[in-house]
A and B are shown apart, each in its own frame.
Chain A
Amino acid sequence: KSTLVVAEHNNETLNPLTLNTITAAKKIGGDVTVLVAGTKCGPASEAVAKVEGVTKVLVAENAAFKGFTAESLTPLVLAAQSQFKFTHILAGASAFGKNVLPRIAAKLDVSPISEIIDVKSEDTFVRTIYAGNAILTLKSKDPVKVITVRGTNFPPAATSGGNGAVEQAPAGDYASSLTEFVSQELTKSDRPELTGAKVIISGGRGLKSGDNFKLLYDLADKFGAAVGASRAAVDAGFVPNDLQIGQTGKIVAPDLYIAVGISGAIQHLAGMKDSKTIVAINKDPEAPIFQVADIGLVADLFKAVPELTGKL
């Protein structure tokens, strides 16, 4: 057994999700090789080499990997695969991993396994279906398993203690004429990333407007928390989609999740019900969010949230 983990990074730093993915790779067993492909990704590859449990780091620096497009990364991974014959190819279940890994799987003619939450054995994996309303355990019949990993279900690997051997990935002409990366417009924020935050304050349609999310930002400041939203709040145009928590947004599992003005639609619960402690503030006592909340407060959020912020 040997696993290739496709690292997610911005050339400088490693996305923490890669550490969770390395843990999943270790659970499968065998050697763990991490591929770091970028334009000037020296710092990211040095960080990977130190991660506990990493056997080898394959580094590929090439202008072709600007924007980390699936069209340029796929031939690189295929070249590495034909050289090293990995039994498993993994990446985190982020926008990056979900974009790239199915393209690789199709080229290998295997059926990829999306967003696993557990590893039962080298060929048997657990994942959620129907927005988390059912848990599927499946056995893959394919010779190579191509898998994305849900970060919240695997603890991060330690960022020190490892001593991976750094090697060059197979060289090649990876530039693709199909796609050109133009730009990224990232939401600027001093707050923690949603998927890594210890505390999340999340708002729904009950907030009534985007401006009213200020109430949540004020509360979040007290906790050093991230701010998220339900799909209803995104649909209503209150906040951008990158704040969306749920089946079709981000999956989170913080220590504390405070749901404000969120009714608790199935697809929202799918994204947050693994949080350690859930607090719900909603004026409707019948809201389904109260069925999963550890602490429920039936109240008008426009009074309760400022009062809570004031008392912390």
Chain B
Amino acid sequence: MARVLVGVKRVIDYAVKVRVKPEKNGVVTQGVKHSMNPFDEIAVEEAVKLKEKKLAGEIIAVSVGPAQSQEVIRTALAMGADRGVHVEVSAAEYDLLQPVHVSKILAKLALDEKADLVILGKQAIDDDANQTAQMTAAVLDWPQGTFCNKVEKTDAGLTIVREIDGGLETIKTKIPAVLSADLRLNTPRYATLPNIMKAKKKPLKKVTPKDLGVDTSPRIEIISVEDPPVRQAGAAVADVDALVAKLKAGGHI
């Protein structure tokens, strides 16, 4: 495989407690720590591993988003990607950008860059959509290996073990293909300081959806973004006997 495209998304860091804006039209992002979507780190790691095994020649990291998205491209470059493509959209446009748009952007880039494999995280932890890999595969008419637990290159293509609800499933796909990384695919490496320095010199190209011929007209309208109902903390019990009594009172035993 000559070339692997990986998608990386800049999201609010997983450890941050997200707050809804008083206007109820989104969440507070200003002054909040952001980082690479955790599943995308796994996707980058898988691509770098393929390159280390000489199964991939070049890794291109792509991020779609406002100017700050370049931060996560740099992180991917520091982890071992060779070059970056930043597909810039304005902050206002980004609010309504959906996987239907991103998948078309990624598909176009995959063709332009002659990629043999696209690896994405299975889900971004901001919108929790879990759609982009499946949709990118559909646009390209490529096979989709979603929720990957293990990926092996064979002469005929790929053998993929997938995480499913009741256990695991094995499929074989042809190449080119689109994969989505699940939790146990690998453990992403940390970018070392020398590699972070080197990453600053790696090429990063900037394009717009328009350059790629992708229409980003909104497909949804946000009616409201609200806080979830608050669950009241209950009572502490002193010991197991008190717990048993409570469970009895609640009709659970």
Contacts and interface: CB of A to CB of B under 8 A. Distances in A.
A45 B224 CA distance: 39
Interface stretch (B10-18, B53-61, B75-83, B111-119): B10-18
Nearest to A267: B14
Nearest to B248: A312
Contact of B138 (A69, A106, A294): A106
Instruction: Specify the main secondary structure of chain B where it touches its partner.
Output: mixed
Contacts of B220: 111, 113, 138-141
A108 to B, nearest CB: 10
Contacts of B235: 294-296
B128 A105 contact: no
Given A114-B128, A297-B243, A134 B172 contact: no
A112 B128 contact: no
A183 B232 CA distance: 45
A109 interface: yes
Interface stretch (A25-33, A81-89, A248-256): A248-256
B17 A297 contact: no
Contacts of B149: 241
A141 B221 contact: yes
B247 interface: yes
B157 to A, nearest CB: 9
B123 A248 contact: yes
B233 A130 contact: no
Interface residues of A, number: 93
A50 interface: no
Q: Which of A130, A132, A294 lies at the interface centre, i.e. has the most chain B CB atoms within 10 A of its CB?
A: A130
A136 interface: yes
A141 B18 CA distance: 27
A99 B144 contact: yes
Contacts of B27: 129-130, 133-134
A153 to B, nearest CB: 12
A227 interface: no
Contact of A241 (B172, B184, B253): B184
B228 A311 contact: no
A138 B227 CA distance: 15
Contact of A184 (B18, B167, B242): B167
A103 B184 CA distance: 24
B93 interface: no
Given A99-B147, A242-B165, A294-B235, 9 more contacts: A74-B138, A94-B165, A98-B146, A129-B127, A133-B17, A179-B172, A278-B231, A308-B240, A308-B244
16 contacts: A67-B171, A102-B132, A102-B138, A106-B138, A106-B139, A111-B220, A114-B128, A120-B223, A135-B224, A178-B142, A180-B173, A185-B170, A223-B252, A296-B233, A308-B244, A312-B244
